[in-house]
Structure 1
């Protein structure tokens, strides 16, 4: 066997996801219900009647990034997502920073936000501490996720119907029972301190970080690329479909709530704006019924997010990004269900623990700053990759390159400049820790750790599409 032949990952994850199953997992991970019913209340408090406009502007950032993810994901169909192409294009140091931000950090924070938000809606019928209930929800989603990605796809597809129905129903009710003109949406005001004031440009930009969190997840199609059958363009298709659904399901219900609420100041000031809105237009019973529907919808997100982040941790273990015992554990695949069992448990347990000691608002603002940094790395990869690797096979190529990544970088930098110093300190501290770990642990072990192997490619009806004419090696974590 040639010593210079490229090393290629072995196919360990079970490859049996169809395009629509990939999309259902990704849309559920984006979870339109979470953006509308959990993240939007944070935006009401920050940007008042400017919340819908903030979602629209954040959608421009999302579309710019979608072009980047679609191209990069089809070129590098590897389960780890962002860090796998960042490390191959910008270098392993930048790749490890991306891994920390998109993997362990988001794997702990984002499912925790979703589970806490769901707990608030379940409390209309269950009188239990929201943090404890959120931890129970997260651990339940962890157990479900272990039983196979296709089972997850089928389960979330069924729950996704309920989720979308809840979003549609609330949107229709808001528009039908509108108490004010749509012009209120185009003259955004912040409400508080006994009065109103125009929404400033700086506050609008700062709110984009929170709104971007609501859209985050549509890039999840990349994480299931080793389990999806068919041509690699399916990764790009899933990215755009998921984002389109997310935009519609964030903007419309938030705008409907502002138009249909009896009192906008009361809506914005409410501890739970949606329960105020639902009670005001339909009464307590109606609020209870819809709140339970919302809770079921958000449960869908918890189930979808478990395999989402578990695959990043699984891939990091397979790439030996951590000390050998940790990496080997994270890379373990369940012998029957073909799922990364240890990585899934790690996501569930870590998220459950952080839920017990924090709140939705804190987690949401932390994630906003982290996402902005990650977006810059993704967009830079889309630019540098074309320059450094012009011959790289790209089944999908974005139109009008490099406009989309440049827009994403400019908007992300703008978002960072408007973040609270404490949130920037958290994000900066995480980046510093990642850089130090890479410099002092990974870089001296360049031949055995932070591996960057070639992906296993697959096309429906053709099976593995290994390049012919050259010997191919496969490798596994136990060999390293």
Structure 2
């Protein structure tokens, strides 16, 4: 039985948790999978893992540079708009994950509803992020490390490679170890983004109303008003900043409450991520001493904080960013490795490869899935085209959410009898808005990103067709 504390609140015993874990394992069996990953995480664990993936300090202090480069100070407006869209996406994710509580995250949700070619496109856009983003984060760490230690003479690529391997090694251990490391680093991040908000209060330089309603961008060294076309083109890159809350769905097979609690976890993560990213971003622009120098800086928010709080803030920010970048890479490797594991379990890959990728190691983690991410990420560290891939990550994220919205819309139509432990309110408005918003964001991208998206989709469909050579049309999910 559950015990009571002195306040009368119910406390869970080990037996309660074991019973809930067993019930969640039964839910997994109903959709055709065996319970192999250990169920040891509670809702707050999963939310913290998602916050580590969202990585507020990384998002605010580093990733926003690309958004400001495209849309100028409209980066703030884009983030405010995106905060609303993110909540709608979270509602779609929560319902789909409760119907199909697989560790494959967005890929598994889409695969459970939409045709397989679309699931493959989702998978490729989903997993490629787990290769590109960690590589870029590790290179970012080196920049801030050398700012802290100017005498560090080791090459950037070598340091980044070592850090990538260290994070990969942690990602292969028990999920609680990675969660514990992430929670500690997340606390450091919250302190750092708090400094950005303090900077705006201590030394406000820009009119908050103008920041939101009269955005400007840098063009030829001169500030010009943001046009509607530029504003729309800013939305997809902004997805790369306010992202990561969906990682909750990647740990659903390790969540004690399973399908019952996943909706609550993903909505909570989306709300917290929006607050921890949008508010400091807004504050950072308000604290900007000069918009020309701010928008031309590699790390605009860092410049604003240093100007407002002095040199000591630079050291604090550097430490926070290093922690955030490592934190984000670690969680991404944990999350996307589970997506690879799920796709291998579904039989998508050639048998000699899929057998390894579907294995669980002695720590009950998808170790080979982590290896499958680390090897190409290590190669990317030495590529000069990584900057383009980082910005393109926003397009990949928008593509994934486009298909998630479609799946959430069609799920209620095609799977009318499915049990839905979490039901989104106001259906079908959330998925319709998500599909419309992400679809428009994708269509308004520049030609190089559109071509990149089409090439990735073509490769995914080609791999789906090729997979017919080794697949017998059956899978553990029944598709």
CA distance in structure 2 between the partners assigned to 1:200 and 1:56 by the alignment: 17
- How far apart are residue 139 of structure 1 and its match? 1.6
8 A contact 2:138–2:164 mirrored in 1: yes
**Structure 1 gap ranges (5+):** 455-480
Equivalenced residue count is 447
* Alignment CA distance shift 1:131-1:62 (3 Å): farther
2:419 to 373, 393, 408: 393
Which residue matches 2:308? 281
CA contact (8 A) 2:61 2:299 kept: no
Q: Given the alignment of the two structures, is residue 27 of structure 1 paired with residue 51 of structure 2, yes or no?
A: yes
- Return structure 1 stretches of 4+ with deviation > 6 angstroms: none
Q: Distance in 2 between matches of 1:206 and 1:308?
A: 28
Task: Report if aligned partners of 1:34, 1:298 keep a CA contact under 8 Å in 2.
Answer: yes
2:65 corresponding residue in structure 1: 41
Summarize deviations over 1:375-430 as a string: whole Å, max 9, x none. Answer: 22111111111001101011011111110111111111211122121111111111
1:407 pairs, out of 410, 413, 433, with: 433
Task: Tell me, in whole angstroms, the C-alpha distance in 1 between the residues paired with 2:357 and 2:258.
Answer: 28
Correspondent of 2:146 among 119, 123, 140: 123
- Map of 1:188 onto structure 2: 215
User: Offset of 1:355 from its aligned partner?
Assistant: 2.0
Contact 1:34/1:117 (CA < 8 Å) preserved in 2?
Answer: no
Corresponding residue number in structure 2 for 1:204: 231
Q: CA deviation at 1:61?
A: 2.2
SS of the residue 1:196 aligns to: strand
State the distance in 2 between where 1:6 and 1:154 align.
Answer: 31
> Over residues 340-379 of structure 1, what are the superposed CA-to-partner deviations in whole Å (9 max), with x where a residue is unaligned?
1111122122212212214663123211222222222111
Correspondences of 1:218-237 after superposition (within 5 Å): 218-237=245-264
**Residue equivalent to 1:84:** 108
Correspondence for 1:422 among 444, 448, 456: 448
Maintained 8 Å contact 2:302/2:317: no
For 1:196 and 1:109, the matched residues in 2 are separated by 32
Q: Distance in 2 between matches of 1:225 and 1:232?
A: 7
CA RMSD, Structure 1 to Structure 2 (Å): 2.0
Moved more, 70-79 or 343-352: 343-352
Residue 114 of structure 1: which of 121, 126, 137 is its match?
A: 137
CA contact (8 A) 2:192 2:316 kept: no
**What pairs up with 1:276-315 in 2 under 5 angstroms?**
276-315=303-342
2:204 corresponds to: 178
Q: Provide the C-alpha distance between the structure 1 equivalents of 2:305 and 2:208, rounded to a whole number of angstroms.
A: 20
Q: Aligned partners of 1:241 and 1:129: how far apart in 2?
A: 40
Looking at structure 2, the residues matched to 412 and 391 of structure 1 have their Cα atoms a distance apart, in angstroms, of 28
Give the Cα–Cα distance (whole angstroms) in 2 for the partners of residues 92 and 45 of structure 1. Answer: 37
- Identify the match of residue 247 of structure 1 among 265, 274, 284: 274
Corresponding position of 1:464: none
Q: 1:174 to 1:408 in 2, by over 3 A?
A: same
Most deviating of 412-421 and 286-295: 286-295
TM-score of the aligned structures, taking structure 2 as reference length:
0.89
For residues 90 and 443 of structure 1, the distance between their equivalents in structure 2, rounded to whole angstroms, comes to 22
Describe the shift of the 1:439–1:231 C-alpha distance in structure 2 as closer, same or farther (beyond 3 A). closer
SS at match of 1:197: strand
Deviation of the 1:311 alpha carbon: 0.2
Change (3 A) 1:440 1:353: closer
Q: Could you say what secondary structure the match of 1:190 adopts?
A: strand
| 2:388 corresponding residue in structure 1 | 362
Distance 1:149 1:161 in 2: 19
Question: How far apart in 2 are the matches of 1:360 and 1:269?
Answer: 20
CA shift in 2, pair 1:184/1:348, >3 Å: same
Q: Find out whether 1:62 has 2:89 as its counterpart.
A: no
Q: 1:445 to 1:303 in 2, by over 3 A?
A: closer
Residues 57 and 443 (structure 1), Cα distance of their counterparts in 2 relative to 1, 3 Å cut: farther
CA distance in 2, matches of 1:359, 1:124: 23
Structure 2, unpaired ranges of 5+: 1-28
TM-score (norm 1): 0.89
2:397 corresponds to 1:371: yes
Change in CA separation of 1:122 and 1:179 when aligned onto 2, cut-off 3 Å: same
**Relative to structure 1, is the Cα distance of residues 23 and 216 closer, same or farther in structure 2, using a 3 angstrom cutoff?**
same
